[in-house]
Chain A
Amino acid sequence: MISNTGPAYSSPQRSAFDRYNPLRWIGELSETRYWMYLLLLPSALLICAVVIYPTLYGMQMSFHEMRINRPGLGNGWVGLKHYQRMVTDPVFWVSLRNTAVWVTSAIALEFLIGLVAALALNRNLPGSKVLAVLILLPYFLPNVVAGHMWALMLDPRLGVINDLLVKVGLLQGYKAWFADPTTAMAAAIVVEAWHSFPFFTLLLLAGLKGIPTDLYKAADIDGAGALSQLRLITLPMLKTIIAAAVILRVIGLVNSPDLLLILTSGGPGRSTQVLSLYAFQTAYKDFNFGYAGALSVVMFVLLMVFAWAYVRLSKVNED
């Protein structure tokens, strides 16, 4: 191989040691046309092994009976059984509705707070670097700890937020936020927004830095106020970034049941049951891998359709 594609510069007086020196050998390999493919090979193989193969396996699983705790049922092909069951499964429909509420409210809140924070940080006031670090910090904290911090603060007996709200007069008495079906989802959305709004701040701030300042100077001369500048310059210029950030966040939020699993496990009742959580519990608690696979496949397809439609719509608006 080396002799065929060997480098042009290789010196004729190679010692025996050089010939068997692995570094030299790889160095010569790096001059061939296939070098970039060799560089990509390890990561591509790994991704095939831990992402592509499991995903295909999971899709295939959704057409089979697969209950780890009941091996007697076998692993036979059951066709669309799991998908048919979904149609008549009330929990599926509740989860679907909750997912829509959870994702849209959380992202709307995260986007709003993220945008306000990014606009304020972009003024580069003295001290804003330190404030930026503090504001970005929640995004890097683990879900498990974020969940328990808020569970502690919202606790019905010793929660500091309850105490403050009662002292201010907004609440009559302490409230069990996560035990009441009418407030559990809202409380979880607040925790999620606290945890992930910095993601929007991060991306929007980077986008704001890319807007030419001339645009604002021109608008100043034309007498446009701050709010119309935001509406007519800032938001249109940020459109691509906003679209990218929303898509990434939707994917992240739909796919990961972590925070709800920690805060409520879907309860009380089914009030915070989302699709990813339902799929996970079907697998983890009931060991019904076939049905869990089918639920994830449906979730994945819905996500793909959403992403595709969203990209199309934001492109249409641009034209």
Chain B
Amino acid sequence: MAATRSRSKLVWDIVSYIVLIGLAFICIAPIVWTFLTSLKVESDIVTRTMHYIPPSITFENYVKLWNQSSYPTLVINSLIVTSTTVLICLLTGTVAAYAFSRFQFKGRTQLMLGYLVVRMFPAVLMIIPLFIVMRQVGLLDSTFGLAVAYTSFLLPLFVWMLKGFFDAAPKELESAARIDGTTRLGAMFMVVIPIARNGLLATCVFVAIAAWNEYLFALMLTTSTGSRTWPVGLQLMVGEFQLPWGMLAAGGMISILPVIVLFALVQRAMVAGLTGGAVKG
């Protein structure tokens, strides 16, 4: 009995490894292939015989994309929009998450549910009025306007995720600080937020990645190079200038590099934060 059980455990271990390695390969292969393509000369990409390993390695695609297109401007615009979005979420969302986590008050459950339900609203339904309103107030085609629009789906997410991290922070230290005469304000900024700083960082990174990647709002709400973000710019280059595959691959690699680095750095806390709410409720 014990022998068959340990043998079946071994079999399932092996099956698990095969599944995991296979899936990891499928997940990584497109990224690796894009990277290899970005290092190839265009004539090695567009060829009748497939080159699995680049016959010659070149950084020409990166250099050309960086020097001859508006890509640097697009990346800078994206950086501005992303950091503005994170900043707005930090300023308005941190205190909201704290309130949900630490206080019992009338309407708490309904309001929290409301923060969840607004994410169900179709983006398209919001984008059109946002377009009209932003045009009226002069925020259309501006990085700030786009960042404000991003908070429509990222702020509720930020609040929910951060609330989970605040819930996990022990309440004893806070009580001790309160007994010592610290105000609620002081306890929040000097005790709770520092304890939950890893969670706060993970939440910010998650929001930053989402804002960095966003395409639809940016497509509708920006019209000029002055505020256009990289996903829209890259897509336009493909459409209008028939961007060569090598340069497109290089653009893709440049754009996902920050995402991969940030994800690798804080993935554990981020995964915990993303799954926390779902497990509890």
Which residues on A are within 8 Å of B, measured CB to CB? 7, 9, 23, 26-31, 35-37, 39-40, 42-44, 46-47, 50-55, 57-59, 61, 113, 116-117, 119-121, 123, 125, 128, 131, 133-138, 140-146, 148-150, 152-153, 157-158, 160, 163, 194, 198, 202-203, 205-207, 210, 220, 226, 241, 244-245, 251, 254-258, 261-262, 276, 279-280, 283-284, 289, 292-293, 295-297, 299-300, 303-304, 307
Contact = CB atoms under 8 A, between A and B. Distances in A.
Contacts of B255: 142, 144-145
Contact of B19 (A29, A116, A296, A307): A116
5 contacts: A43-B155, A47-B156, A54-B125, A207-B278, A244-B281
B205 to A, nearest CB: 10
Contacts of B183: 7, 27-28, 30-31
B185 interface: yes
Given A142-B212, A241-B279, A300-B125, A158 B245 contact: yes
B33 A149 contact: yes
Contacts of A157: 46
Interface string B7-35: 01000110111011101101110110110
A185 to B, nearest CB: 20
A30 B184 contact: yes
Interface size, B (range): 35 or more
Interface stretch (B56-64, B126-134, B167-175, B196-204): B126-134
A300 B125 CA distance: 9
Contacts of B248: 148, 152
B19 A142 contact: no
Contact of A50 (B105, B130, B279): B130
B143 interface: no
Interface of B: 5, 8, 12-13, 15-17, 19-21, 23-24, 26-28, 30-31, 33-34, 37, 45-47, 50, 52, 88, 91-93, 95-96, 98-100, 103, 105, 111, 115, 118-130, 132-133, 148-149, 151-152, 155-156, 159, 181, 183-186, 188, 209, 212-213, 215-216, 219-220, 231, 234-235, 238, 245, 248-249, 252, 255-256, 259-260, 263-264, 267, 271, 274-276, 278-279, 281
8 nearest A-B residue pairs (beta carbon): A206-B275, A142-B213, A296-B125, A57-B129, A54-B129, A30-B185, A27-B183, A30-B184
Contacts of B263: 133, 136-137, 140
B103 A283 contact: no
Contacts of B124: 255, 257, 276, 279-280, 283, 292, 295-296, 299
A317 to B, nearest CB: 19
Contacts of A120: 15-17, 19-20, 23
Given A150-B30, A280-B216, A125 B17 contact: yes
B28 to A, nearest CB: 6
A312 B21 CA distance: 38
